[in-house]
Structure 1
Amino acid sequence: MSVQTFVPGDARQVSMTATAEQQARREIAREQALGLRLAVKPSGCSGYKYVLEYVKQAEDDDHQVRIADGVVLFVDAKSLPLVKGTEIDYVTEGVNRFFRFRNPNSEGECGCGESFSVTA
C-alpha cells in the first residue's frame, strides 16, 4: 500500500493511504469542495475527537496539505500540533466504512474509539 505525503521543510505533516486518498477524492468531487478540513475538537472521555468537514472556503489560519491531485487537507493552526505525523486510512469493518486515524501523538483512545488523548 502506498502513502502520499506532503513534507514542508523537515516536519512531516499528515499523510493518507492510497485507499483513503481515493475515497477523499470521490467525496471532495461529489461535494464540489476545495478539500477536507481535518480538525481536532475537545470531546469524549479521552479529551479530543477528529472532525472531517468539506471545505468550501479556506480560513485564514488553515495550513493546506496537498496529498495528491484533487485531494487537499485543510488543518487549522490549533489542530496541527495534535495531528502532525498522522496517517489517515479508509477501512471497511463488516458493513461499516470509515476514515481511521493513526496518530503518533495519541497516548490512548477511549473504549469506543470515539476520542483520544495526547501527550502534553
Structure 2
Amino acid sequence: MNISIEPVKITEEAAREVKNIMDNKNIPDGYALRIGVRGGKGCAGVNYYVGFDKQKDSDLRYESLGIPVLVNKAETMYLIGVTLDFYEGADARGFTFTSGDET
C-alpha cells in the first residue's frame, strides 16, 4: 500500500547517509528503507530501528526526499511524529530518532 503522508520524517542529513548506503553497500534493487519498532510497545516505550528490506503486504510505503520508505501498518501509530536524523561528530556517528514529545 502506497501512502501520501509521512509517518516518519527524514532530515536532509539522514537522507544523504541513506542514499550513500544504498549506492555503496550493495543494497539489492527493489529494497527500501525500513523504519520500525521493537519491543516495549506500551508503557515501557519503544525501540526504533532502521534497515533495508523488500516490501511486504503488511507495509505502508511512501517516499521521503527521494528515498523509498517502508513501515509496517501495525507499527504506524508508534512512528507518527518521529524524525530520523543522522549525527556525525567526534564522539559518535549514526542514525538517531526524535519524537514530537521530546524537548
TM tier, shorter chain? 0.7 to 0.9
Deviations 1:5-47 (A, max 9, x none): xx83xx552211111000011112223242211110105xx44
The structure in which a higher percent of residues are strand is 1
Equivalent-residue separation in structure 1 for 2:19 and 2:52 (angstroms): 11
Q: Match for 2:26: what amino acid?
A: E
1:19 matched to 2:13: yes
The answer as to whether partners of 2:6 and 2:62 remain within 8 angstroms in 1 is no
Are the structure 2 counterparts of residues 65 and 12 from structure 1 closer, same or farther at C-alpha, using a change threshold of 3 Å? closer
TM-score for both structures, normalised by structure 1: 0.67
Q: 3-state SS of the aligned residue for 1:31? A: coil
Tell me, which stretches of 5 or more residues in structure 2 are unaligned? none
Tell me, which stretches of 5 or more residues in structure 1 are unaligned? 1-6, 107-120
Aligned to 2:51: 53
What stretches of structure 1 move > 4 A for 4+ residues in a row? none
After TM superposition, the structure 1 = structure 2 runs for residues 1-120 of structure 1, keeping only pairs within 5 Å, are: 8=4, 12-29=6-23, 30-33=25-28, 34-43=31-40, 46-55=44-53, 57-69=54-66, 71-104=67-100
Equivalent-residue separation in structure 1 for 2:50 and 2:35 (angstroms): 5
Q: CA deviation at 1:89?
A: 0.7
Q: Match for 1:99: what amino acid?
A: F
Fraction of identical pairs, as percent:
17
The structure in which a higher percent of residues are helix is 2
The answer as to whether partners of 1:84 and 1:105 remain within 8 angstroms in 2 is no
Root-mean-square deviation (Å): 2.4
Number of matched pairs:
96
Equivalent-residue separation in structure 2 for 1:22 and 1:12 (angstroms): 18
Structure with higher RCO (Cα < 8 A, 6+ apart): 2
Q: Match for 1:76: what amino acid?
A: N
